[in-house]
Structure 1
Amino acid sequence: MVFFVSWLAVMFPLAFSPGPANVVFAANGANVGVRKSLPLLLGVDFIFLIKSILVGVGFGSTLALYPQSLLYLQVIGSLYIFWLAIKFIKPVNKSSSTLNSNLGFKDGVILQLVNSKGWLLVALMFTLFTDQSAKEYGEYGIAILIVMLALLNITSHFIWIWMGSLIIKLIKNTYWAKYLNAGFALSLVLVGLWLLFDVFLNR
């Protein structure tokens, strides 16, 4: 129990904090609702699961030998986030299918593939908790960490989608509704700029 609480205290803020994927989840949830956003969630979390497995079996040590590769990935990810921001600069219109070119499984896969922070989050988890998990669960320690992170990610991402869907229900008949997508787009631009700034600091 102590192990789980300490793991959750570290990993929940990292998984739930506003990042590229979470902002996109909220924006997509606002535009097309929870059900139509599920393919996007599956795409992101499928790749997150693959990342967890790769790092868990030792790929993380390979990444550590080539830290520049994560910086290049971060630049590509920033550019993709800017592209997503452009897609979201459209007025919210529930009767229109213009954004029913909503983001799907493929978009989720791409978003997570170029998300360097995803690699760092997974690497941090295994760095901090592999030994504790092994003491708790023996040879199943790595697998338990992978499952725990997958469940946390899916839950956090679903909540972000639901919150986006809830926001549009609350304000769809108000003056502010037409600015919601612009707000999400601005959030993505800020995230993208922050990622680029982070690359500059780590050069």
Structure 2
Amino acid sequence: MAMFVGALFVFLLPLAYSPGPGNMFFAALGARSGVAATLPANAGYHVATLLLTVLVGAGFVAVLDPASTLFALIKTAGSIYVLWLAWKMATSGRSSADVQNSGAGFFDGVMLLVLNPKAYVIILLMYSQFAGFHFSSMGERVAVISLVFTVNNLLAFLLWTLAGDGLGRLFRSETSARRLNLVFAATLAGVAVWMLLG
């Protein structure tokens, strides 16, 4: 079991820790409002991750074909949602009221996962690559893969959030904070374009 978990972690390492919609969103939000403001959205994202991964692994949700119309619709909706998040960040200020209101909620995290085509592709790859390992039951296999995937994602997001928070602490003034907001907004917009074209 330890070898399986280690191999799965190594497989997921470049996928979970590379810049993507989730990592960039939480880095930007961490820089903007601090780690605490990201916790509700982080919870939403990872509850949705665990549920989706279990449902896919148990066969209740068919993984979308990347060539299907539905997958294209999810990509488009996800890109639009990330662009909207980028717009919110670009147009926000640094007043205490703005910072208090800039935290993302549980539902934002859920939507970020549901509309993230990268998540569907990774779940498909993960199950296809690690289906051959022998477990005592399908339930054990799905539980182990889903937990490792979700916990690994959570660690990646927390690292990106802490990095963003650290960067945000360097930009305390209104002017520098606005510039940082624009940088992260542009990054999120770039991710949205990548999601749409990828």
Structure 1 residues not aligned, in runs of 5+: 199-203
Aligned CA distance change for structure 1 residues 179 and 46 (closer, same or farther; 3 Å): same
Q: Which amino acid aligns with 2:120?
A: W
Over the matched positions of the two proteins, sequence identity in percent amounts to 31
Aligned CA distance change for structure 1 residues 89 and 65 (closer, same or farther; 3 Å): closer
> Mean Cα displacement is larger for which, 99-108 or 48-57?
99-108
Which residue does 1:80 correspond to in 2?
A: 81
Which residue does 1:2 correspond to in 2?
A: 3
Distance 1:55 1:194 in 2: 25
Does the aligned pair in 1 maintain the 2:93–2:174 contact within 8 Å? no
> Mean Cα displacement is larger for which, 40-49 or 56-65?
56-65
Normalising to structure 2: TM-score of the pair? 0.89
**Pairs within 5 Å for 1:114-153:** 114-132=115-133, 135=134, 137-139=135-137, 140-153=140-153
Report whether the alignment pairs 1:25 with 2:18: no
Does the aligned pair in 2 maintain the 1:23–1:188 contact within 8 Å? yes
Normalising to structure 1: TM-score of the pair? 0.87
Aligned CA distance change for structure 1 residues 105 and 13 (closer, same or farther; 3 Å): same
Alignment length, in residue pairs?
194
**Residue 43 of structure 1: CA displacement?**
0.9
Which residue does 2:36 correspond to in 1?
A: 35
Which residue does 1:54 correspond to in 2?
A: 55
**Residue 197 of structure 1: CA displacement?**
1.6
**Residue 62 of structure 1: CA displacement?**
5.5
Which residue does 1:201 correspond to in 2?
A: none
Does the aligned pair in 2 maintain the 1:85–1:185 contact within 8 Å? yes
**Residue 6 of structure 1: CA displacement?**
2.2
Aligned CA distance change for structure 1 residues 75 and 173 (closer, same or farther; 3 Å): same
Give the helix-richer structure, 1 or 2: 1
Report whether the alignment pairs 1:67 with 2:68: yes
SS in 2 for 1:18: coil
Does the aligned pair in 1 maintain the 2:44–2:107 contact within 8 Å? yes
Aligned CA distance change for structure 1 residues 3 and 28 (closer, same or farther; 3 Å): same
Which residue does 1:15 correspond to in 2?
A: 16
Distance 2:12 2:63 in 1: 23
Does the aligned pair in 1 maintain the 2:53–2:123 contact within 8 Å? yes
Does the aligned pair in 2 maintain the 1:91–1:179 contact within 8 Å? no
1:116-175 deviation line (CA, Å, top 9, x unaligned): 11111111111101212xx2x321122111111111011111111111111111343597
Q: Which amino acid aligns with 1:54?
A: L
Distance 2:13 2:148 in 1: 11
**Residue 61 of structure 1: CA displacement?**
4.1
Aligned CA distance change for structure 1 residues 61 and 43 (closer, same or farther; 3 Å): closer
Aligned CA distance change for structure 1 residues 65 and 72 (closer, same or farther; 3 Å): closer
Q: Which amino acid aligns with 1:159?
A: L
**What RMSD, in angstroms, separates the aligned Cα atoms of the two structures?**
2.1
Q: Which amino acid aligns with 1:138?
A: S
Q: Which amino acid aligns with 1:130?
A: A
**Residue 31 of structure 1: CA displacement?**
1.4
> Mean Cα displacement is larger for which, 123-132 or 172-181?
172-181
> Mean Cα displacement is larger for which, 112-121 or 56-65?
56-65
> Mean Cα displacement is larger for which, 60-69 or 47-56?
60-69
SS in 1 for 2:8: helix
Distance 1:145 1:194 in 2: 27
SS in 2 for 1:138: coil
Distance 1:90 1:62 in 2: 36
Q: Which amino acid aligns with 1:141?
A: R
**Residue 71 of structure 1: CA displacement?**
1.3
